[in-house]
Structure 1
Amino acid sequence: MIDSYIYIIDDLIFFCTGLLLLYLFVMAVASHFKHITYPKAQKTYRCAILVPEGSLLPEIYKEESYEFITYSDLHQAINSLDQEHYDLVLFLSHTASALSPQFLDKIYNAYDAGIQAIQLHTVIENRKGFRNRFRAIREEIKNSLCRAGNTQFGLSSHLLGTNMAIDLKWLQKNMKSSKTNIERKLFRQNIYIDYLPDVIVYCQSAPVCPYRKRIRKTTSYLLPSIFEGNWSFCNRIVQQLTPSPLKLCIIVSVWASLITVYNWTLSFGWWIALFGLLITYSLAIPDYLVEDKKKKKHSIWRKKHLNNELKKTPA
């Protein structure tokens, strides 16, 4: 009797894990497809770039045509903007240190095409040490699975909470305080959020989301969003409930180990699933992070090789 329950539970968990693995794999593969290129904007737009006090960007780009506005209170800064003067608001992280070329032009092209909310590509520059490198990989996996992958299927990208551009009129109407969950409001109103992978904000460290994401409250919108046909919100809720890559790999590893001890013939599928997860997350990691690792290994090899050659050479 106990064996039957264990087999049923194992089959059920394996089925759910298999569906999740297939879903993640499809998103990881889709993230490698080329993003749509928007035509050049037909109008001239103005963008207010909001940066926290102490940001170095206004000084770095003082000779550029960027309109930086420093703030201590985000909500107050947004409400003080004149809709006659600005069309867009751009939030940048306090850790932002550089911007990619043609930064605003590409944002204006998307805005001119009717995109009201845009998530930009955050790249962490400081990747020295295991912890910083792990955070950089984690953020890029999120970019691939929850942003680039989503938009390839016409689903909205997730918002990071910073390094994003939003229509000013919509923002002033919907943002009630600095802690307002902008992402949830956009999803509930079924407003499409695009992700621009080639519009890059370089940050010294991983940005912190400015507002609290309450999973329980977000989950309560699952059934209403299904009845409304708001598939972007449904997808967002599913991805928010999905464990992080590290946690999911640990869960599958532990369960596979337990099943191996209990009945090793049942464990083959679980070890294959774990291997599939590792392949999926590997696909979600961009090339530049892999190349960094290769360069580091190559430089270490060259250093050791040079030391050996010096030892062989008589003084």
Structure 2
Amino acid sequence: MRTALRLARGWSQREAADRWNILWPAEPKTDKAFSYWELWPASTGHAPPLDVLCQLAELYECRVADLVADVADHRPADILHQHRQQLAIVEDPTTSMDDLIARLGSADVHELAAMATTWVRGDSSGVSRRSLLLKISAALSLASASSAPTEETAAADTAGPGAASDDFSGIWHSRYVYPSTGRRKDFTGEHYVVLRQQGQRLSGQSLPHSTGSRMRLDLGLDKAVATGTWREQTSPTGYYQGAVYHGTLQMVVDPAGRRMKGMWLGFGREFTINSGEWHLTWCEANVSKQAQRAYHKKA
């Protein structure tokens, strides 16, 4: 490019050196200096220092970047650059839905989280991308838990309460592990939850917690697997000061139907995707007001 920009002016190396010397007589150069700069990055050339590149840019009336456009480009190794390139493809209106699905399908959750973070930080419009992303994540969570039913599960849903082979209604002890980035360690959250079953659907609401935290579960049963969403409003006086978090959850039900174990997934404060273990343990089937009071503020 250093040769091309000189030739675009119709100058020989000697003429370029002469014009340099007119502009900067205190720093005279010869045609040999221009030859060395133009041969670089070959082994026979010399790398021009930054101040020389700035003066060449002034001489050729171009950008400094134009002078080194032919040398190695290491931007593809930059994760942020990769995410911006991927986002450019996603945001391109000419990208087909099939291409978009293929590109998203080839990325893992951590790459998707990083892309989402880059997109949110690039917000320059009047729309809050952070709020929009939270809305999208909630919609996707609901969609994953409410996929189109098969004929078998549809029949079970229309059969009403008690149609499932097991009744999971009752009071359950909920325990999950979550990371705290700010405190750099894992913590445990516990609640007592009233689960109510209707067909192949489970809805859960936490009982009054000692710190004021509240949680809700919405799960769909498919044989021995429960899949759905969770939502928690943290303690108003705790570390997260009443912040609301939500995400997806999938658990395996043990053969006795008295334990569920699985993993949760959700966004953290900085839009990183977090995950951890989640356990549900059956306590009792009685969900009367009197039975529930025995678990108030027990967790």
* Category of TM-score, reference length = shorter chain: under 0.3
| TM-score (ref. length: structure 1) | 0.26
Task: Considering fraction of residues, name the structure with more helix.
Answer: 1
Task: Considering fraction of residues, name the structure with more strand.
Answer: 2
Instruction: Point out which structure has higher relative CO (alpha carbons under 8 A, 6+ apart).
Output: 1
| TM-score (ref. length: structure 2) | 0.27
Larger Rg: 1 or 2? Answer: 2
